[in-house]
A = this chain, B = another copy of it.
Amino acid sequence: MNTAELYQSYQERMQKIADLRNANAVLQWDQETYLPAKGASFRGRQISTLSEFSHQLFIDQETGDLLKSLLDRGDLADDQQRNVIRSMEDYTKSVRYPTEFVRRLSEQVNRAFHAWIAARKENSFGVYEPELGKLVDLKKQEADILGFEEHPYNALLDEFEKGCTIALVDKTFSDILPGLTELVDRITAVPPADDSFLNQHFPRQEQWEWGMFLIRQLHFDFERGRQDISEHPFSISFNRNDVRITTRIDEQDFGNMTWSCIHETGHALYEQGLPEAHYGLPLGEACSYSIHESQSRLWENNVGRNLPFWKHYFPILKERFPKQLDGIGLDQFYRGINKVQRSLVRTEADEVTYHFHVYIRYELEKQLIGGGISTKDIPASWSELYKRHLGVTVPDDRKGSLQDVHWSHGSFGYFPTYSLGSFYAAQLYRAATNSVQNIEDQISAGNTAPLLEWLRERIHGRGRYLYSEELCREATGQPLDSKQFLDYLLHKYTVLYNL
């Protein structure tokens, strides 16, 4: 076979695997949006079967042979070579997992998830703990299977963020946590922002229409995607021409839906901007979890909680909700949507205190996987860390260690990508506004296209060509520097609260 034919075989194989994975994504989307109550059990097995087939096809010896042969060829185009290199990285990792282990892990995740549901109901971590304990044991085994340097948790971090290590995350946090703590102290020393106007009655249908309007304004392409309702908002992609997001509506909480719409749109814009020619191949995929999160956070916070954006949209919002926003000025609105307070629940936290929540989970995960603590110690450690970093007292498990679903999914090493996403977002936003002069002026005029264009070119269109850090360096001229995030917060909140 000549190189072109060989590459064609590789591409066809990868695209079939993508078809199976994307079909599975449709099943998952449907499960969260339209599945009838009793359809869950058969759906579960259909999803498992599809996962099994796509996994088997990928780890097949033939995939490895194709990749090896292609790597030996000297005449691949640059894009092609990069695809093959990335696929080989994925392949090398995937084949390490014994089928038997994958099955055991998947079964234990299922048990842990159901134990978590039951524990939430009873508000008792003890109901969850035995199954979570077994899951942590398996995750430790997984770290051994994958191999690691220095700390087993590094193996799990690497699963969500290629090349990510404890050293990197520790440094990233330690660069900003003292400054963040000081900022929170200063903000909470002045009178709190009044955000009570957000908690009036905002009728369901009107909120929905507002959200749809906003999404469209942000250039979510409804010919290549849609929005639906689900219990927890999420975004999911079946290919760049079919990217779906969901939201939820709380009639007593205007913020809940609005910023979830903007957040998920950020994810979706990324997926809709991936290169079409590389469907099923690494260059047609998003770079990483943290870069994905950088896109959602950038739109949610750096754009969507910022003054320029609301200069344009607040008057429109007032027209849509004249009664609820009667007498509220732009400044008051802006302060209200940026209220900072120490709190118990991560998903309700503001953009300043949020990262303490993530840091606490990261600290616990490190120790759980490293063996410093066991799952039995979680509630006590959780309380202690919340007291220390956020100064709050955890009243019960539901508002404490039972609040996140992630661990029950076996996702250890995932939380840090939430913070990394915010840090990348601040750095990207600064680079964009520095390099294109009128981006913020345009946002003030209701036009986010120049910003989107900058991201399309430097982030979305690049697929997985680079790792997160390399992509950041290429786009901003520097590696990840979390101090830029702190600078962004210091500047914004000093002005906002007249500190």
Per the bound structure, the CA–CA distance linking A26 and B36 in Å amounts to: 13
A38/B238 contact (C-beta < 8 A), A15-B45, A19-B49 known: no
Q: Is A159 an interface residue (CB 8 A)?
A: no
Per the bound structure, the CA–CA distance linking A19 and B228 in Å amounts to: 25
Contact B23 A46 (CB under 8 A): yes
Contact A242 B39 (CB under 8 A): yes
Chain B residue numbers with a CB within 8 Å of A30 are 26, 30
Q: Identify the A interface with B (CB < 8 A).
A: 15-16, 19-20, 22-24, 26-27, 30, 34-39, 41-43, 45-46, 48-50, 53, 221-226, 228, 238-239, 241-242, 279
A23/B15 contact (C-beta < 8 A), A36-B225, A241-B39 known: no
Per the bound structure, the CA–CA distance linking A19 and B27 in Å amounts to: 11
Contact A50 B19 (CB under 8 A): yes
Min CB distance A12 to B, Å, is 10
Contact A36 B239 (CB under 8 A): no
Per the bound structure, the CA–CA distance linking A37 and B226 in Å amounts to: 10
A238/B43 contact (C-beta < 8 A), A19-B49, A19-B50, A49-B16 known: yes
A19/B46 contact (C-beta < 8 A), A26-B26, A27-B26, A41-B241 known: yes
Per the bound structure, the CA–CA distance linking A43 and B43 in Å amounts to: 20
Per the bound structure, the CA–CA distance linking A49 and B226 in Å amounts to: 24
Per the bound structure, the CA–CA distance linking A48 and B22 in Å amounts to: 13
User: Which chain B residue shows the least CB distance to A19?
Assistant: B49
Contact B19 A45 (CB under 8 A): yes
Contact B23 A223 (CB under 8 A): no
Min CB distance A339 to B, Å, is 36
A42/B22 contact (C-beta < 8 A), A36-B223, A223-B36, A226-B34 known: yes
Min CB distance A247 to B, Å, is 15
Chain B residue numbers with a CB within 8 Å of A224 are 36-39
Min CB distance A221 to B, Å, is 8
Per the bound structure, the CA–CA distance linking A16 and B51 in Å amounts to: 11
Per the bound structure, the CA–CA distance linking A421 and B271 in Å amounts to: 47
Chain B residue numbers with a CB within 8 Å of A45 are 15, 19
User: Which chain B residue shows the least CB distance to A52?
Assistant: B16
Say which residue of B39, B48, B225, B241 sits within 8 Å of A238 (CB atoms): B39
Apart from A23-B26, A46-B238, list 8 A-B contacts with CB within 8 A.
A19-B46, A22-B42, A23-B50, A36-B224, A36-B242, A38-B223, A42-B239, A43-B238
Min CB distance A93 to B, Å, is 24
Per the bound structure, the CA–CA distance linking A135 and B34 in Å amounts to: 37
Chain B residue numbers with a CB within 8 Å of A53 are 20, 53
